[in-house]
């Protein structure tokens, strides 16, 4: 009896001697019904046998010991890709299987949930030959969605954020025959006022816009321009509403106007780099040093869900950070974890890149 219910074939290596007199393999049928179903729905029998022999031959233990060893070749009951994984399949065919199997490489469950919804949008767009658009998405969701949907032959995707270096982007999904040109799904606004007397931060602009009643998903990047104000990326259908509703940022009266995307003035963000030595790479230790606040204060911010790593909310003080992580704190800004080196005393020298 096989050790797992999904087993279809077992390989026994022992003193069985085939007709040529050499020690070899014998294949034992474990479950005729399941084996037949697996072979019929997944691959020809010779592929199953070849994989079985390769698995056994790869083990040095098998080559040097004359004892019976059973190797189970597990064949899942349902796979999303029923034919060769090397070719591009159709999205509807993939979703018929286990969708979670497609998302097993996405570690963040919040990101996986969003990507799952986008995968369903892709199925609908492909089957109905529709053109669908997401709201603005965070970089991890955009990355995972583009990577996954790029494997399907019957959908085409375009990610747009308004300018080449945009972080928050919208994704357009459609059948290749429908999605021919890049859709016009991102608009830009210019917010001007007397900011030379009272400068406003990214959080000030974001809070003022959200205060009009729209959700964060409808907004893309906010490009701060110092005394000139800011430029904001937004969904086109809300342009007129924000132009009429937004009249103040902080204590500064503002004027909001629509501008073409070509008028966007993007400059690389200014940063300040420094190093800190910490006993561990826990988020509460590294981020408190990076934002120059007490560790207890950062713990409170984590409890209030105001701390994010790579745009995912942090819920545990002991979350470990690594090189390349983006850490953001509501009202404090964000920073990037640079090079990490271990000191002779077993501590960690961490490079902090603070966005100004």
Structural domain contains residue 113? yes
* Contact between 283 and 317 (Cβ < 8 Å): yes
| Listed residue (238, 219, 218, 232) closest to 188, CA to CA | 232
Same domain, 252 and 196: yes
Domain extent, residue 130, equals 91-174
Higher pLDDT, 156 or 47: 156
Residue 89 confidence class, pLDDT cut points 50, 70, 90: low
Residue 16 has pLDDT above 80, yes or no: no
100 confidence band (pLDDT: 50, 70, 90): low
- Classify residue 82: in a domain, yes or no: no
Asked if 262 and 252 touch (Cβ cutoff 8 Å), the reply is: no
303/284 same-domain check: yes
pTM above 0.75, yes or no: no
At 28, the pLDDT band (50, 70, 90 cuts) reads: very low
Mean pLDDT over 76-88 rounds to 36
Residues 259 and 295 occupy one common structural domain: no
Residue with tokens 């109905």: 128
> Do residues 326 and 344 share a domain?
yes
Average pLDDT in the 256-266 region? 94
Q: Please state the domain count of the chain.
A: 4
In a domain, 180, yes or no: no
Same domain? For 242 and 278 the reply is no
Q: Give yes or no: residues 104 and 170 share one domain.
A: yes
Q: What is the pLDDT of residues 278-290, one digit of tens each?
A: 999 999 999 999 9
Please report whether residue 292 resides in a domain: yes
The residue among 152, 141, 146 whose CA lies nearest residue 96 is 152
Among the three residues 263, 280, 298, which one is the final residue of a domain in this structure?
263
Q: Specify the pLDDT at position 229.
A: 94
Residue where a domain stops, chosen among 15, 49, 74: 74
Cβ atoms 137, 167 nearer than 8 A = no
What is the chain's mean pLDDT, rounded? 78
Q: Are the CB atoms for 183 and 197 separated by under 8 Å?
A: no
Q: Which residue has the tokens 């474990």?
A: 30
CATH number (domain holding residue 329): 3.10.290.10
Q: In whole angstroms, what is the distance from residue 325 CA to residue 341 CA?
A: 15
Give the CA distances from residue 260 to residues 162, 163, 215, 349, in Å, rounded to whole numbers and listed in that order.
Answer: 10, 11, 23, 45
Residue 312 is assigned to a structural domain of this protein: yes
d(CA 104, CA 98): 10
Check whether 230 has a pLDDT greater than 70.
yes
Q: Convert 30-69 to b/e letters by CB count within 10 Å (16 or more is b).
A: bbeebbeebbeebbeeeebbeebeeebeeeeebeeeeeee
Per residue in 163-219, pLDDT (tens digit) is: 988 999 999 999 888 888 888 999 999 999 999 888 888 889 999 999 999 999 999
The rounded percent of the chain whose pLDDT value lies above 70 is: 72
pLDDT at 133 over 50: yes
Per the rule left: phi > 0, alpha: psi between -120 and 50, beta: everything else, 250 is left
Rounded CA-CA distance 181/136 in Å is: 19
Q: Is the confidence at residue 9, as pLDDT, over 70? A: no
Contacts of 237 (CB under 8 A, 6+ apart): none
Give the single-character DSSP code of 346.
Answer: S
164: its two tokens: 């080449």
Q: What percent of the chain has pLDDT over 90?
A: 46
Residues 6+ apart with CB under 8 A from 218: 135, 136, 234, 235, 238
pLDDT recorded at residue 83: 34
Q: Do 294 and 251 fall within a single domain?
A: no
**pLDDT confidence of residue 269:** 75
> Rg of the chain over CA atoms, in angstroms?
28
Domain end call among 174, 207, 223 = 174
With respect to residue 1, please indicate whether it lies within any of the assigned structural domains.
Answer: no
Domain presence at residue 310 = yes
Task: Report the run of H or E that residue 11 belongs to, with start and end.
Answer: strand 7-13
Q: How confident is the model at residue 344 (pLDDT cuts 50, 70, 90)?
A: very high
Query: Does residue 168 share a domain with residue 203?
Result: no
The CATH number of the domain holding residue 200 is 3.30.70.330
Nearest to 235 by CA among 218, 223, 217, 211: 218
Q: 259 with 300, same domain? A: no
Domain assignment of residue 56, yes or no:
yes
């Amino acid at each position: 009896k096989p050790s797992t219910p999904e087993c279809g074939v077992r390989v026994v290596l022992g003193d069985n001697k085939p007709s040529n007199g050499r020690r070899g393999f014998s294949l034992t049928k474990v479950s005729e019904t399941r084996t037949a179903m697996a072979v019929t729905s997944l691959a020809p029998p010779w592929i199953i046998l070849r994989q079985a022999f390769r698995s056994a031959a790869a083990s040095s233990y098998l080559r040097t010991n004359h004892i019976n060893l059973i190797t189970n070749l597990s064949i899942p009951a349902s796979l999303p890709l029923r034919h060769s994984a090397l070719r591009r399949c159709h999205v509807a065919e993939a979703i018929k299987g286990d969708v979670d199997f497609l998302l097993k490489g996405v570690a963040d469950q919040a990101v996986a949930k969003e990507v799952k919804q986008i995968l369903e949008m892709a199925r609908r767009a492909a089957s109905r030959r529709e053109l669908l658009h997401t709201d603005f998405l965070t970089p991890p969701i955009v990355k995972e969605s583009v990577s996954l949907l790029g494997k399907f032959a019957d959908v085409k995707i375009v990610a747009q954020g308004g300018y080449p270096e945009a972080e928050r982007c919208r994704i357009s999904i459609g059948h290749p025959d429908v999605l021919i040109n890049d859709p016009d799904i991102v608009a830009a606004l210019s917010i001007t006022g007397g900011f030379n007397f009272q400068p406003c931060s990214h959080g000030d602009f974001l809070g003022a816009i959200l205060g009009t009643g729209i959700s964060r998903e409808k907004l893309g990047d906010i490009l701060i321009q110092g005394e000139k104000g800011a430029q904001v990326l937004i969904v086109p259908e809300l342009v007129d509403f924000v132009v009429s509703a937004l009249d103040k940022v902080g204590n500064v009266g503002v004027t909001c106007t629509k501008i073409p995307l070509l008028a966007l003035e993007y400059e690389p963000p200014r940063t300040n780099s420094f190093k800190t030595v910490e006993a561990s790479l826990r988020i509460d230790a590294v981020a408190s040093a990076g934002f120059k606040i007490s560790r207890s204060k950062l713990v409170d911010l984590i409890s209030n869900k105001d701390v994010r790593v790579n745009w995912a909310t942090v819920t545990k003080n002991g979350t470990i950070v690594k090189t390349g992580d983006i850490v953001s704190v509501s009202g404090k800004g964000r920073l990037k974890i640079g090079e990490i080196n271990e000191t002779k005393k077993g501590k960690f020298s961490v490079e902090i890149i603070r966005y100004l």
